[in-house]
Structure 1
Amino acid sequence: MARIYIAEIRISDTMAEKIQSKHGVTPAEVREACQAPSRYTKAGWSDEPERGLRLIVHGESEAGRYLKIVLFPVDIADGIYRLGTALAATR
């Protein structure tokens, strides 16, 4: 199965504040876990009527912290996504 291309993750100031205050996750950790192909262990699509199409990514930050990250597609072909949320997860 081909890896999903993630070139850019757009994180608003509001979302950065939310993930840091609520989940203790930094935008840098999100990017580390998703954008380096060797870091994410799995990624898959979820399409729910109330939330729409989302990419669920599980990966590790450079410090070895395992994260679950939800991304909304902006431009799939160019690998551009918008952060929906990010939190620490267990394997």
Structure 2
Amino acid sequence: MVRTILASILAMAGATAGALSLAPPAAADEGPLRELQPQFAFLTTDQLLREGYWACRASASGMMSSEIAPLVQQHLKYSGASLAVANKIVSTAIVHLDC
């Protein structure tokens, strides 16, 4: 009887562990990047999201934000984005997109 109960508990624990290992990662929160659009009206929401996700991938590959921001500025050079704007996009993306 004790072995049956113990076996059931172990089976449930294994099933729970398996289900948790298959759980998807936390969803990225695009809201804070979208909220930058009124502040940076010269950029579209699509541009903010594109650069935010690019910054996130660059960060995940090992680049430092101080290296990423000038590249984001370069991507947005025709929109007139400054390094300060690029820094804000990068920092917001890294914090909120689960890089």
State whether TM-score is above 0.5: no
Larger of the two Rg values belongs to structure: 2
Higher strand share: 1
Higher helix share: 2
